[in-house]
Amino acid sequence: MNAPRAAAGGRFNRLVMRLLKIGTVSGLLLVLLAEMSSHMVGEKPPYTSWVSWVQCATSLYAIGVYTWYRPGRKTWIAVAAVVSLAATGIDAVFDQGPRGVGTAELMALGLLLLFAVRHWDAAPGRWVAFALGAAILVIGVRLFVYDGSAVAGTVLIGMGISTVVGFGAYLRSMDKLRRETQEEVRRAERLELAREMHDFVAHHVTGMVVLAQAGQVAATDPLKSFADIEEAGLAALASMRRMVRMLRDDDAAGGVNPLGDLSQIEDLVDRFTREGTDASCFISPELAGAVAPEIAATAHRVVREALTNVRKHARGATRVRVVVAAAGGQGVEVSVRDDGRAARGRLGREALAASGGGLGLVGLRERVETVGGQLRAQPRPEGGWETAAWLPRAVPEVPVGTAGS
């Protein structure tokens, strides 16, 4: 599957979901129209009563809330529940005849109950789900007015409510599990950074010591030696500020892996080759010593994650090509390409790309963006998969006062 086909698949899925919603709303409107005009022999149609028009307006509001509902707008659902209860009360006080209007409203409120349970903790509170359940139950007062229909109708409504609540609770648990897993990824990245921070600092401090020792034995200008030491010290402080900021920021992504560098990328590829896949690696010689340690560590992480994904998701991959090359004067392009197929067709890596990536790519994307880079993971037009990142050669400076020390 090539990139245009993957994009077309994403558009097709969105189109299907939109058509499904349009079909649902159209069906509810047709049901509302039918129940406003249908009646038994010898009865007046509901549209002849003002009470039915109040209930019709309530149904239209419930359908509208379902149509335009977005997460975070649960207040609209609360209003729909209160309005429905009021409409049922009006029906009980001003008896319009044998049967009221409420079938379409009942189905719309059932769909809203799914949202209310899924977004259980959203404002204005959990009571919205209980109010909505009560509105659905008592709506039977309008509908089940014929002999023998009350008990059976109430049982069916109760079963429907149980099904909707169960499915909504399942979706809520899936949402919670995904959030917890993503947070665990971020926490693991921060813990890894905290454990290895002393190695990164030691790298900079060792450079300062070497400069100081060289200044003592070499016949160089002392001012030049001090300037070099100052530059190395400022770089160390900047790295420390960035790492401390990422550790202290609850919403920040994990930092970088200071133990990885460009030279270790070749070791990754060699180990991958020994595991049975033909992999080759090219690292541009001009990048030696020209890339900040944090950028080199991030490049190492990109290659490591990409090779892991090849092993997990690429079926029949026979060749893997890893390239770390200069991109312009101030950038680095890291790419990992393979010729494999998705492990489970459209449910494999193409689906990950359409949905924003798997959990491994979540942490990887955050690392890349933290140092000012960009990440993409997508099918290749000629077949296979590509994971690529553009990185700056130097990490953007952090103002001295932003992180504290």
In a domain, 32, yes or no: yes
CATH number of domain containing 269: 3.30.565.10
Sign of CA dihedral 129, 133, 134, 135: positive
Which residue, of 208, 227, 254, is where some domain finishes? 254
Q: What local confidence, expressed as pLDDT, does residue 169 receive?
A: 93
Residues 268 and 238 in one domain: no
Residue ending a domain, among 127, 146, 165, is: 146
- Whether 161 maps to a domain, the answer reads no
Q: Which among 28, 114, 17, 21 is positioned nearest to 74, based on CA atoms?
A: 114
* Element spanning 205, H or E: helix 149-217
One domain, residues 234 and 287: no
- With a CB cutoff of 8 Å and minimum separation 6, the contacts of 312 are 343
In a domain, 151, yes or no: no
Supply φ then ψ for residue 27, to 5 degrees.
-65, -40
Quick check: is 162 in a domain? no
203 and 99 in a common domain: no
Write the pLDDT tens digit of every residue in 315-329. 777 889 999 998 877
305 plus 208 within the same structural domain? no
Q: With cut-offs at 50, 70 and 90, classify the pLDDT of residue 42.
A: confident
* Banded pLDDT at 257 (limits 50, 70, 90): very low
List beta partners, residue 275. none
Question: Which domain, by its residues, includes 327?
Answer: 262-392
Q: Are residues 112 and 195 in the same domain?
A: no
pLDDT at 62: 95
Whether residue 185 lies inside any domain: the answer is: no
272 and 384 share one domain: yes
Same domain, 49 and 33: yes
| pTM of the full structure | 0.56
Of the two residues 260 and 329, the one the predictor is more confident about is: 329
DSSP per-residue letters across 5-30: HHHHHHHHHHHHHHHHHHHHHHHHHH
Mean pLDDT of the chain: 79
CB within 8 Å of 385: residues ≥ 6 apart: 309, 310, 313, 314, 337, 338, 340, 349, 377, 378, 379
Within 10 A of 207 (CB to CB), how many other CB atoms are there? 18
Domain match, 220 and 303 both:
no
Same structural domain, 375 and 356: yes
Looking at the 3D structure of the chain, how many domains does it have?
Answer: 3
Is residue 350 classed exposed, middle or buried when 0-12, 13-18 and 19+ CB atoms within 10 A define those classes? buried
Q: What is the mean pLDDT of residues 11-31?
A: 91
348 shares a domain with 267: yes
Facing residues of 337 across strands? 321, 386
